[in-house]
Amino acid sequence: MSKMFQVYGIGQALIPVLPPPLPFQSAPTSNQTNYEIGQLVYTPALAPTAFYLYGGAGNWIQFASNSGDIIAINGTANQVTVSTIAGVATISLPTAITTPGSLTATTSLTAGTTVTAGTTVTAGTGLIATTGGVTATTGDVTATAGNLVATVGNLNLNGAASKININAATPSSASVGVSGSMSSTPGTVTVTSSAVTTSSNILFSRKTTGGTPGQVSITAQSAGSFTLTSTGNETSSFNYLIIN
């Protein structure tokens, strides 16, 4: 136990002071109560690594350890924000969060506007874009075991190099595009594409109508090209889809 020391002041009567820090063999417990409030103790006795301050009613407050006391709480740019008011540190997330590694949501991840991933977004069950859509700037949107379904929207493939890859091992296994205009006597047009084989399934439809439309069929198909021929003298253009 430790009580106040009575010491003489300069030009005054005895004044009470706390004894110096006391060595403990082990950390104090709530049963050790016979100490003055403010008493400082340390453990272990010969090589102190922890310090405790007595707050009364068996309450010992550890305020330093061998790993060092906490001097400041700092945030990390775009990850964690820390604000301190009246000695209270409040830790919060910034409006724009950048994670140094992966971000895993065990249930759902909801973004009001945009989710941007440097490499990959992986959804254990589903990836839903309510309004904005899903955009792959350079990579792919891949449905490994499921389907790519457009319930109300469209699957838009723009540009001559656009294609649907039915088999990832053969990137040119499917191709989609717009043929040139037919000549008018009679209406014919030849489409050249590396996706075409002699056994390709080719779907086509008119994109624009010109001249005198007739019945259109594939009159020639070989490795690298196919020909559409109309029974009418038309100058229509056609959309086509090549599936292997």
**Cα distance between residue 113 and residue 120, in whole Å:** 18
Domain assignment present for 87: no
Average pLDDT across the chain, whole number? 79
Domain assignment present for 160: no
pLDDT in tens, 174-198: 677 778 888 878 899 999 888 899 9
Regarding predicted confidence, which is higher, 9 or 68?
9
Domain assignment present for 161: no
Beta strands at 183-184 and 50-54: parallel, antiparallel or unpaired: unpaired
Place of tokens 């895993």: 104
Number of domains into which the chain is organized: 2
pLDDT attached to residue 217: 94
Domain assignment present for 47: yes
| Domain end marker among 43, 64, 85 | 64
Regarding predicted confidence, which is higher, 145 or 189?
189
Domain assignment present for 113: no
Place of tokens 């790519």: 148
Domain coverage including residue 17:
5-64
The pTM score is 0.38
Beta strands at 22-23 and 14-17: parallel, antiparallel or unpaired: unpaired
Q: What confidence category does residue 142 fall into, taking pLDDT thresholds of 50, 70 and 90?
A: confident
Please, which residues have CB within 8 angstroms of residue 234's CB and are 6 or more apart in sequence?
Answer: 182, 184, 187, 209, 210, 211, 212, 213, 214
Please, which residues have CB within 8 angstroms of residue 133's CB and are 6 or more apart in sequence?
Answer: 153
Mean pLDDT of 47-70: 79
Domain assignment present for 18: yes
> Is 46 a residue whose pLDDT tops 50?
yes
Domain assignment present for 77: no
